[in-house]
Amino acid sequence: MIYLAVSKLELGLLVNFGGPSLEWKRLVLTRTRHEPPENLTL
């Protein structure tokens, strides 16, 4: 999840080719209550 936060992307796909079958997971970065919106001007 840290890669999504650093890249400012909200959606990511984690893929593992090392198992007996393909494993994947969809990751969604959600904003916490403590983070102000990006377009907020003070």
C-alpha separations of 6 from 1, 3, 10, 18 in Å: 9, 5, 10, 26
- H/E element, 5: helix 2-7
Average pLDDT over residues 7-35: 84
Kindly report whether the global pTM for this prediction surpasses the value 0.75: no
Residue pLDDT, tens place only, 20-29:
999 999 988 8
Tokens of 17: 């080719």
